[in-house]
Amino acid sequence: MIRWLGPRDPFPPVDVALKDPNGLLAAGGDLSPERLLDAYVRGIFPWSGPDEPMLWWSPDPRMVLFVRELHISRSLRRHLRGGFTVTADTAFRAVVEACAGPRSDANGTWITPEVIDAYSELSRLGHAHSIETWIDGELAGGLYGVAIGRMFYGESMFAHRSDASKIALAHLAHQLDRWGFEMIDCQMSTNHLASLGAREIRRREFVDRMRALTTLGDIPGPWRFDADLSATVQGIAG
């Protein structure tokens, strides 16, 4: 059994999450900024299928990308050599709406209008951030997530042009490294994330590392990348 959350009910400890389905912890509650931030600092995230109540998860193991372990494939190296612009926090809602769009590998999306509004409010408060890749003046790809202290919780990515979301991720990883972030929470394991260098760690290790990182000072929003970041990333791409 999982706990049904009332408006003021706290989350249960993550170690009581179900093993099947892996990490299911609780249901119900709301998507207020207070509820969302409390979830993230505990190692919990929301995810629901279409027509389901809000479900809260803390899987074991946990998929993470250590920012210095980002894998840049041959294809991505080619695309990183130029012809794009990468920005931060300039089109948050557009990025989230694009992430909610139809995908060839999914029948639906958990990113409902309610979710879009909730994360847009987190963005307004300086807790959620978007990374945008622009090609020929159009939003070609990007990602969004939540930052607390020096911990980044990735939520979703999209690409309308080849490798556009990976270009955004490469820039984010290098900027986060400069700011003293160590890892990006990727939540659930996928082959796509593994191809980028993400790997699974035990939930206890994740929670311990995350708690240490969230106690460090926030990077005030809106975020702006260092002026030399793209040149540095392009240099790494060769």
Do 184 and 117 lie in a common domain? yes
Do 67 and 42 lie in a common domain? no
Q: Which tens digits make up the pLDDT trace of 93-137? A: 999 999 998 755 555 578 999 999 999 999 999 999 999 999 999
76: domain CATH number is: 3.40.630.70
Looking at residue 103, its pLDDT comes to 57
33: domain CATH number is: 3.30.70.3550
Looking at residue 109, its pLDDT comes to 73
Do 185 and 229 lie in a common domain? yes
Per-residue pLDDT at 238 exceeds 70: no
Residues 6+ apart with CB under 8 A from 216: 149, 150, 180
pTM exceeds 0.85 for this model: yes
Looking at residue 51, its pLDDT comes to 81
Domain boundary among 35, 59, 83: 59
Do 103 and 202 lie in a common domain? yes
Looking at residue 108, its pLDDT comes to 54
Looking at residue 197, its pLDDT comes to 97
The count of domains in the chain is 2
Do 109 and 214 lie in a common domain? yes
Do 43 and 68 lie in a common domain? no
Looking at residue 101, its pLDDT comes to 86
Domain boundary among 44, 59, 74: 59
Residue 34 belongs to what domain range? Answer: 3-59
- At 234, is the pLDDT very low, low, confident or very high (cuts 50, 70, 90)? confident
Residue 110 or 143, more confident: 143
Residue 88 or 75, more confident: 88
Do 68 and 139 lie in a common domain? yes
